[in-house]
A and B are shown apart, each in its own frame.
Chain A
């Protein structure tokens, strides 16, 4: 029944990055820096599979 809270912390970090990049993306869009907007959007999308992998690993270790 030992559980690790490292995946939880990692997921929280991912979510923090999500918030940061979303804010950055919206601001860069209105500043008309469109390349930066696209980069931030791509990072946001990539963060989802990362979060999923962290979840998978975190669950498998403890089952």
Chain B
């Protein structure tokens, strides 16, 4: 007979030894606390890039100048129509809308809710994000319906020599 039970408590990590289920004591109080500390660590690490990006923005990235870029010819865009383009980067899709003879507006067309593309609806005279029916005012880019809370970032446009150029990005105020 082994001497296992002669010592009290015998040398076993499992002090609730009358329980024999698998993994019964795997997540005990200490294990749970370890998990929580680990989660706090994950939060801390994942905050760092945001802090760095914000610091970069504070250091003048916000005033960045972009080279002007031709969007379309005036003759190719009838009043009330819209055309998609990319500005300032190749992957920053945007939309240009001609509202009247001389008035053009352009916005970054990623919905400020979940970044679905925003479309121009000629009949309703408003911009629609079809994902969750967010709507934006075409004059200001401000949200007028649906889940988005922030306005679409505006793009400055200029008409020169019968063509429309994108010249800059307005950093929107919220």
Contact pattern, B 56-73, Cβ under 8 Å of A = 1, otherwise 0: 011000100000000000
Known pairs A14-B40, A38-B55; A44 contacts B47 (CB<8 A): yes
Are B150 and A30 within 8 A (Cβ)?
Answer: yes
Chain B 29-65 residues near chain A, CB threshold 8 A? 29-30, 32-34, 36-37, 39-41, 43-44, 46-48, 50-51, 53-55, 57-58, 62
Are A5 and B54 within 8 A (Cβ)?
Answer: no
Are B36 and A51 within 8 A (Cβ)?
Answer: yes
Are B51 and A38 within 8 A (Cβ)?
Answer: yes
Q: Does B174 contact A (CB under 8 A)?
A: yes
Are B54 and A37 within 8 A (Cβ)?
Answer: yes
B40 is contacted by which of A15, A37, A58 (Cβ under 8 Å)? A15
Are B43 and A34 within 8 A (Cβ)?
Answer: no
Q: Does B172 contact A (CB under 8 A)?
A: yes
Are A38 and B34 within 8 A (Cβ)?
Answer: no
Are A47 and B44 within 8 A (Cβ)?
Answer: yes
Are B29 and A5 within 8 A (Cβ)?
Answer: yes
Are A48 and B174 within 8 A (Cβ)?
Answer: no
Q: Does B132 contact A (CB under 8 A)?
A: no
Q: Is the interface of A mostly helix, strand, loop or mixed?
A: helix
Q: Which of A19, A25, A35, A44 has the most CB of B within 10 A?
A: A44
Cα(A52)–Cα(B46), bound, Å:
17
Are B33 and A8 within 8 A (Cβ)?
Answer: yes
List 15 other contacts, CB 8 Å, given A37-B53, A48-B37, A51-B37.
Answer: A7-B33, A11-B36, A12-B36, A21-B47, A38-B54, A38-B55, A38-B58, A40-B47, A42-B51, A45-B47, A48-B41, A48-B44, A51-B40, A52-B37, A59-B33
A-B contact pairs, 30 of them (CB 8 A): A3-B29, A8-B29, A8-B33, A8-B36, A11-B36, A11-B40, A12-B36, A14-B40, A15-B39, A18-B44, A22-B47, A31-B150, A32-B172, A33-B174, A35-B58, A37-B51, A38-B58, A40-B50, A41-B50, A41-B54, A44-B43, A48-B37, A51-B37, A51-B40, A51-B41, A52-B37, A54-B37, A55-B33, A55-B34, A59-B33
Interface on B for A, CB 8 Å cutoff? 15, 29-30, 32-34, 36-37, 39-41, 43-44, 46-48, 50-51, 53-55, 57-58, 62, 112, 150, 171-174
